[in-house]
Amino acid sequence: MNDMQRMTGLLVGAVFGAVFVVVNAQSPLNPVAAILLKVAACLAAVGVLAMWFVSARSERSAEGAQPAEEARRNMFGRGYLVVVAAEAILLFGGIRVLAIWGRPEEANVAWVALVVGVHFIALAPIWKEWGIAVPGVVLTVLGAAGLVLASTTAIAWVPFVSGVLSGIVLLTGSVVLGWRAVTARTP
């Protein structure tokens, strides 16, 4: 995986992280805290977008850059497609199963976090990017915790635990790794 592929992955992670926070920062959180979390999440995603543009500019000016088609082949090969297809089936099928079982709607965000986490773990060996297994494990744990909470009187906290915290993990990782990548290129 080349540098632009990594930055693109970080941008996707940041966007989904921001969505996790914006959608799930709600009651029982204090309304001011919820707004601050949403604003911070959006600013972090915009920051990663800016880093992506900086990387794209430096990639274009670098000599010997990998042809676009070869780069796409490396990142979006058969293994990637299998993982994404399985993820889609598990996401939508799992949410449907939760509804059939009469699980509360809050369990959906926990299921999404769990499946997204497992997807990162599955992609780590395919992309030979072992670092993505770390947020994968954290999201999987946050998703599992939310599924457990959904069966308790603390159900109102499931969106925070599985949604907001998962979003913060994705955003923090994207910002930190993006910053490292951009500053490593800067003379």
Rounded CA-CA distance 87/90 in Å is: 5
DSSP letter assigned to residue 1: -
Compute the distance between CA of residue 21 and CA of residue 34 in angstroms, rounded to an integer.
Answer: 9
Tens-binned pLDDT, residue by residue, of the chain (187 aa): 688 888 999 999 999 999 999 999 999 999 999 999 999 999 999 999 999 999 888 877 764 545 555 555 567 789 999 999 999 999 999 999 999 999 999 999 999 999 999 999 999 999 888 989 999 999 999 999 999 999 999 999 999 999 999 999 999 999 999 999 899 875 5
**pTM, rounded to two decimals:** 0.90
Could you count the other beta carbons within 10 Å of the beta carbon of residue 171? 27
CA distance 68 to 49: 20
Q: What is the DSSP letter of 28?
A: T
Sign of CA dihedral 10, 166, 25, 39: negative
Domain ranges of the chain: 3-185
Could you tell me the two tokens for 153? 């009187």
CB 181 within 8 A of CB 5: no
Distance separating alpha carbons of residues 20 and 15, to the nearest angstrom: 9
Paired tokens of 34: 């919820």
For residues 146 and 106, the answer to whether their CB atoms sit within 8 Å is yes
